[in-house]
Amino acid sequence: MSAKKYSPSKKNQTAPAVAAPSPAAAPSAVVDAPPTAEPAWLDSSDPRKRAIAKVVFVALWVYVGALWLLALDQWFNWGIFGPKIPPVP
């Protein structure tokens, strides 16, 4: 745990009174504007980017599925990825 350094000048300050916001301070068009983020690869308008994203997505799920199948094969000794290991007497 680190020690925090407090300055005495901040303890003596009081919070300013909150004034009601004026309508001219923030126009609603600026506040309600959606962020201009670029869409994800799967939502892109470029068909090449969409195809690449789909291939990557499917390859990732095949990889995860193979890892799960390998883990289950080793756990339950099914012999899918190699010869069955005989039980230890």
pLDDT of residue 30: 56
More confident residue, 1 or 85: 85
CB 74 within 8 A of CB 83: no
Q: Where are the domains positioned within the chain? A: 39-80
Contacts of 81 (CB under 8 A, 6+ apart): 69, 70, 73, 74
| Model confidence pLDDT, tens digit, residues 42-53 | 788 888 989 999
Q: Is the pTM of this model over 0.85?
A: no
